[in-house]
Structure 1
Amino acid sequence: MINIGCHVSIAGSLAQAIPRAQERTCSTCQIFTCNPRSWKTKPLTAEAASTFRQAVEESGIAPVVAHMPYLPNPATPRPDVWEKSVSAIVEEVERCRMLGIPYLVTHLGSSLGSDAAAARERAITAIGKGVAAAEGEVIILLENTAGTQNSIGTTFEEIAMIMEGVEQYGPVGVCFDTCHAFAAGYDLRTAEATDSVVRHFDAAIGLSHLKIIHLNDTLSELNGRRDRHAHIGLGMIGEKGIRSVVTHPALRALPFICETPVDCRRNDRGNIACARKLAEEAGTGVPSHPTI
């Protein structure tokens, strides 16, 4: 059975995210450790961290993954925002260390129209400071982007360049988002296409660096450069494509985290159930993948 979950709310307290994950049948999950829409964060107490750790241990959910808040932009050319972004990354790493969270997912940011090479260097330095602060206890995961205007980290090659710079500070990994990848031009609609993307990823970055998959369908057409998530199997990737991801020999043992909509058609539990069903259909007429 695949290890799958979704992003869950921490409303009320961090520890309350865990029963929410259990209600959704998660075996892994993702959270924000603080308000994602504010620069100000409430200090994390030792008591709150201990309660959270205990809830995680008792649940058996693993891994619990944290995601950076929305406001930090490690690639920004604006000095004041860049400094605040660095502080936010370092602070988030410290919160993850207290909470026993092994992975912190971050977007690489936007150049805001400035020189792309300079934007990459700013992102390398900002994320590198977080990696140094982690001291190997928390692995920062670089997430691929959908290719929206001025975003960096859209191609595997660009992520590899940034990783090479960040690795001067310590270990770093990758979170692969299926919605973003498809929007950026990486076709995932068939077993053959997905295998080609996996081979490309391995050649450019290395599969050993891939730690988490954000399993999302998309409303964007292939190479449409729009970051618009859709229910599992109901978007442009479709059931056949999602099945090809969750059954690929190089991917199927990884944790999958859905960041899908909640509406009248389906909720988190429904999307997780759909992904599990597609994974269980392996061997029932599904084309086999070449082994990496």
Structure 2
Amino acid sequence: MKKFGCHVSIRGGYLAAAKHALAIGADAFQFFPKNPRSLSVKEFDRDDAEQCKHFCKENGLFTIAHTPYPTSITPHDDKKDVTISSLLNDLLIADTCGSAGVVVHFGNKISETDPLASYHLMLEMLNRVLSQWNGACKILLENNAGKQAALGTTLEELVQIRNLSDHPEKIGFCLDTCHAFASGLWNGNDTEILVEKANELGYREHLVAIHLNNSMHPYGSRKDRHANIYKGGYIKSNDLEDLMDAFKDVPFVLETPHEFGISHEEEIAQLRGLN
């Protein structure tokens, strides 16, 4: 049976987030471990986080966390230390909640003259963070839509960063379907080719979660705007379903919009009907 879920709020705490996910029919969920607009280090309620972990284990809930919006693994020099502290904080919170990983966006282009500068900085940041981290929770590198200098749009890049890091065993991947479509990585009807490449490169074996999102913009647009699975998107529903079948053992987490009158509960119910 495939696992389906969505991003949920921690407004009422971590345990409350897990209970909400279960109540809407999810068996997977994603959350921000702290304020999504801040890189501050959060003094969190460990008891609440531990209760979340036990609740998820008892109810078969898979969870991942997502770093706050300002997080970048290609930061300016004056942001390196605060970013590292924030990432370690995210990992600790997520690990205490029993999450499999913390999703981090691939980095951005930082130099017009040195094409490798961004990759070197990403490796520096990952090495500094993971040399201090010994928990079970992994950093999950997410593919980009390509809107900022087109870094992180290929499986080769993601795999190579993992391979070259000092701690590859602490790094996994999260595939975003909207980003893959927008960047040109996957056109919807070439899932077989995507899977073959993922297997050949060693990406597939370290794929921990999939962000299941449709795209409000056409293939190759490099625009990161999510659409609902069955309404308002450019990715055909049967193409998304083919991808789900190809990666059926990987949990699927919705990051789809609410403003069009479609709730995550409704979408999960629709997806559940595919099992």
Q: Say whether the fold is shared (TM-score over 0.5).
A: yes
Which residues of structure 2 form unaligned runs of 5+? none
Q: List aligned pairs for 1:53-72, cutoff 5 A.
A: 53-61=53-61, 63-72=62-71
Distance in 1 of aligned mates of 2:116 and 2:73: 13
Distance in 2 of aligned mates of 1:118 and 1:205: 24
Cα deviation, residue 220, structure 1: 1.9
Distance in 1 of aligned mates of 2:36 and 2:145: 20
3-state DSSP class of the match of 2:116?
helix
Partner of 2:206: 209
Structure 1 residues 151 and 136: alpha-carbon distance in aligned structure 2, compared to 1, 3 A threshold? farther
Further displaced range: 238-247 or 95-104? 95-104
Partner of 2:271: 275
Cα deviation, residue 169, structure 1: 5.8
Q: How many equivalent residue pairs?
A: 273
3-state DSSP class of the match of 1:128?
helix
Distance in 2 of aligned mates of 1:152 and 1:186: 12
Checking the alignment, whether the CA contact within 8 Å between 1:144 and 1:175 is kept in structure 2 is yes
Distance in 2 of aligned mates of 1:108 and 1:155: 11
Q: Normalized against structure 2, the TM-score is what? A: 0.92
Cα deviation, residue 267, structure 1: 0.8
- Percent identical: 30
3-state DSSP class of the match of 2:132?
helix
Partner of 1:83: 81
Cα deviation, residue 16, structure 1: 1.1
Distance in 2 of aligned mates of 1:182 and 1:20: 30
Cα deviation, residue 172, structure 1: 1.4
Partner of 1:253: 249
Aligned equivalent of 1:219, options 216, 219, 226: 216
CA deviation profile, 1:108-139 (whole Å, cap 9, x unmatched): 23235554411111111212233333325111
3-state DSSP class of the match of 2:131?
helix
Partner of 2:262: 266
Distance in 1 of aligned mates of 2:70 and 2:208: 24
Partner of 1:129: 128
Partner of 1:288: none
Checking the alignment, whether the CA contact within 8 Å between 1:103 and 1:141 is kept in structure 2 is yes
Aligned equivalent of 1:108, options 91, 106, 109: 106
Structure 1 residues 276 and 73: alpha-carbon distance in aligned structure 2, compared to 1, 3 A threshold? same
Cα deviation, residue 151, structure 1: 5.2
Partner of 1:161: 160
Checking the alignment, whether the CA contact within 8 Å between 2:188 and 2:236 is kept in structure 1 is yes
Matched, 1:28 2:24: no
Distance in 1 of aligned mates of 2:262 and 2:86: 34
Structure 1 residues 57 and 136: alpha-carbon distance in aligned structure 2, compared to 1, 3 A threshold? closer
Checking the alignment, whether the CA contact within 8 Å between 1:27 and 1:60 is kept in structure 2 is yes
Which residues of structure 1 form unaligned runs of 5+? 281-292
Distance in 2 of aligned mates of 1:72 and 1:84: 10
3-state DSSP class of the match of 1:10?
coil
Partner of 1:285: none
